[in-house]
Structure 1
Amino acid sequence: MKKNLILLHGALGSSKSFDALIPYLSKDFNLIVPDFRWHGNRSEADSSFTMNDLVEDLEAVFQKHEIQSAYVFGFSMGGYAALALALRKPEYFDGIMTLGSKLDWNPKQAEQESKMLNPDKIQEKVPLFAQHLKTLHGENWVSLCNQTADMMLELGRNPILNTNNISTIDLPVRLGLGDKDNMVSLDETVAFHKALSNGQLQVFPNCQHPIEKVDSDFLTRSIIEFCN
């Protein structure tokens, strides 16, 4: 019987972020690849969200698919949501693997990150990325940028995870980080890794933050190895 594996996309991403992985992982796992609410084919123009809303949305995935337990791979925001749910409902998880998940949030960092999500600046300076977001989320991509910025600011004011409470997660947890990630620092990832009671740390060589720039073969092998 195949193990359950849930793949969770990052901020401004969608289930399509995993198109390169799905053909390989589906051979070994019962794959569930949802869009978080407000993203992808669930995009909404006129609603805001917090990280707690995303955590509740992830819990709804377990309930919708009647999953008793699953391995979860979460990229960036998706990894944070998975760990936050594990604080409340550890019984849902066989293990959690993250990549590029920023775990240490404070108001100053949130302010810096949120400024990068200004849709006007994205349109002006990186029009190809703006078109990519429009392809993923339709015309609601502008609203999603603003909503995500607000989510980050709220997370900076009221972070869910810290090195104290993450130590209560008694599950296999692997924190992954690209060696060229310019959003998440090695120091913060190591600090949370050391706080985990059953933690692993994996550094991905020659790897930047966007999942589209991650070596798909290497990532696929890493996920399979972790889940086995």
Structure 2
Amino acid sequence: MSKQNLVLLHGALGSSRSFDDLTNYLSSNYNLIIPDFKWHGCRSNEGHGFIMKDLVDDLEAIFQNQNIQSANVFGFSMGGYVALSLALKKPELFKKIMTLGTKLDWNPQQAENESKMLNAEKIQEKVPQFAKHLQALHAENWIHLCAQTGQMMKELGNRPLLTKDNIATIELKIRFGLGDQDNMVSLEETTAFYKALQHGELQVFPNCPHPIEKVNSQMIADSIEQFLG
């Protein structure tokens, strides 16, 4: 019996390496597909800027290039937003979608606040270990990536791709996961979007912060396996 495809999608400023720990728990049961989004990780380059729609188009191209007809997806943070946005346009590409720590409710003020946290100079000054981590993922392009991600967030704040109205049109089974210690995504916004879904589930994980590198990978893997059946 062939394994199911499971696509893992990383978050903002992340890469396929963000899932190194999680793959230890999933690789035996699934055919894992773990791409880097364009401008990230092994596809890192300065190039031009990008907005969320560019990442959605990139995911569609990844599915096409790898001949993925239909797949289950786990999207962390931004990765979940990208998957859901593509599901609005091409639901036939997906079986089930699970997200973790995905910010769904965007407005200009929230986007402005989030983008201010991506100042590369301040990151180097105040959290040098995080700066080294980003450099390890994206080489010297990490500074440019911070700036472009901030611009993407501002664009998303002005023109969000997902709303409670349009997400209600998705007929797929979707599970929104959220850590109880997530300081970037609120339970209120996640619950509001969950209630708009036709076939939605909501799961809150205990003792779970936002960064994927700090979560209990076995706990998340168990949830993914239970959700996918």
Task: State the match for 2:18 in structure 1.
Answer: 17
Structure 1 segments (4+ residues) deviating >4 Å: none
Per-residue CA deviations over 1:56-102 (Å, capped at 9, x if unaligned) read 11111110111110000000000000000000000000000000000
For 1:59 and 1:214, the matched residues in 2 are separated by 28
Does the 8 Å CA contact 1:46/1:143 hold for their aligned counterparts?
no
Matches within 5 A, 1:137-176: 137-176=138-177
Secondary structure, in 3 states, of the residue corresponding to 1:87? helix
The answer to whether the aligner puts 1:73 opposite 2:74 as a matched pair is yes
Secondary structure, in 3 states, of the residue corresponding to 1:151? helix
Secondary structure, in 3 states, of the residue corresponding to 2:102? coil
Task: State the match for 2:41 in structure 1.
Answer: 40
Per-residue CA deviations over 1:148-202 (Å, capped at 9, x if unaligned) read 0000000000000000000000001000000011110000000000000000000
Matches within 5 A, 1:122-201: 122-201=123-202
User: What is the root-mean-square deviation in Å for CA atoms of aligned residues?
Assistant: 0.6
What letter is aligned with 1:219?
A: I
What letter is aligned with 1:210?
A: P
Secondary structure, in 3 states, of the residue corresponding to 1:164? helix
**Identity level (%):** 66
Secondary structure, in 3 states, of the residue corresponding to 1:173? strand
What letter is aligned with 1:78?
A: G
Secondary structure, in 3 states, of the residue corresponding to 1:168? coil
For 1:2 and 1:92, the matched residues in 2 are separated by 17
Secondary structure, in 3 states, of the residue corresponding to 2:168? helix
What letter is aligned with 2:158?
A: R
Task: State the match for 2:122 in structure 1.
Answer: 121
Task: State the match for 2:206 in structure 1.
Answer: 205
Secondary structure, in 3 states, of the residue corresponding to 2:142? helix
What letter is aligned with 1:209?
A: H
> How many residues of Structure 1 are paired with residues of Structure 2 in the alignment?
228
Secondary structure, in 3 states, of the residue corresponding to 1:20? helix
The answer to whether the aligner puts 1:90 opposite 2:57 as a matched pair is no
What letter is aligned with 1:203?
A: V
Does the 8 Å CA contact 1:9/1:78 hold for their aligned counterparts?
yes
TM-score (normalised: structure 2): 0.99
Task: State the match for 2:4 in structure 1.
Answer: 3
What letter is aligned with 2:202?
A: L
Per-residue CA deviations over 1:125-165 (Å, capped at 9, x if unaligned) read 00000000000000000000000000000000000000000
Secondary structure, in 3 states, of the residue corresponding to 1:19? helix
For 1:215 and 1:105, the matched residues in 2 are separated by 27
Does the 8 Å CA contact 2:167/2:196 hold for their aligned counterparts?
yes
TM-score (normalised: structure 1): 0.99
The answer to whether the aligner puts 1:105 opposite 2:68 as a matched pair is no
